[in-house]
Every structure is written in structure tokens, then in C-alpha cells.
Amino acid sequence: MTNTNTFCAKVSPYLLSIMRIVVAILFMSHGGQKLFEYPPGGHKVPLDSLLGMGGILELIGGALIFLGFLTRPTAFILSGEMAVAYFKAHAPGGFWPVQNHGELAVIYCFVFFYLAAAGAGPLSIDALRKKG
């Protein structure tokens, strides 16, 4: 049992970094769809709209999260963005996230909230800046 605990203690910081990177790539794709219609499947929105501001936050904030640069404040802002997105766009469609199609907004909200508390992990610019 202690070998498993030791192994988990060693790899968990790296898994945090890997989760951060994967979530950031997925999140940036939402911003790319809103701003550039890329990847295909989204629709371009005006920059001066609420969705345009969301696209900017998703693309730039996602890039910062991907790099692990200023992770805690960026993740806190993105968590708030996703909370607003949920209550503004999804909650009016019903109480349950599965009913109002808001599951992804809720998941992003809480993953970013966790990153705001946990930080970027060892595979990040934030970690490099600490060492220097």
C-alpha cells in the first residue's frame, strides 16, 4: 500500500500539469470558434458582444493556462467567466445542468476554481519562475 501512496505522491503534481494543459487546449478551442470560426463548427461573434468578450477570455486565458503562466489569477477569472456563462446562458433552461446543457460550463468553472487554488504544477512557467 505504501508503494502505491509513494507513486501517487510522485506523479500527482505532473498529472495536475497534464490536466491543466489538456483543459486549456479544449478551452482555447471554444475561443477559437467564437473569434475565428476555427475549429469548424462554431460561429464567429462580434468582438464587442458578451460572447466576443467570452471568446477573448477563452483564447487568451486558455493560452495562459496552457503555458502555466499567471495560472492562479487567470484560472480565478476563467472560473468566474464560466459561472456567469452558466447562470446567464444555461440556468434559464432548467434547474439541472443535464437538462439545460450546462454541464461543460459547470465542469470548466470548477476545474478552473481548483487550478486557482492548486496552481499550475511543475510543468509550467510559474514553476520555472519560482526556481529562478
pLDDT in tens, the chain (132 residues): 578 999 999 999 999 999 999 999 999 999 999 999 998 887 889 999 999 999 999 999 999 999 999 999 999 999 999 999 999 999 999 999 999 999 999 999 999 999 999 999 999 999 999 986
Domain housing 83: 2-131
Q: 30-34: long-range contacts at Cβ-Cβ below 8 A with a sequence spacing of 24 or more?
A: 30/55, 30/58, 30/62, 31/55, 31/56, 31/57, 31/58, 31/59, 31/60, 31/61, 31/62, 32/59, 34/58, 34/59
Q: Is the peptide bond preceding residue 39 cis, with omega within 30 degrees of 0?
A: yes
- Strand, helix or coil at 40? strand
d(CA 126, CA 67): 9
Would you state the pLDDT for residue 132? Answer: 65
Q: Classify residue 95 by its DSSP letter.
A: S
Number of separate domains in the chain: 1
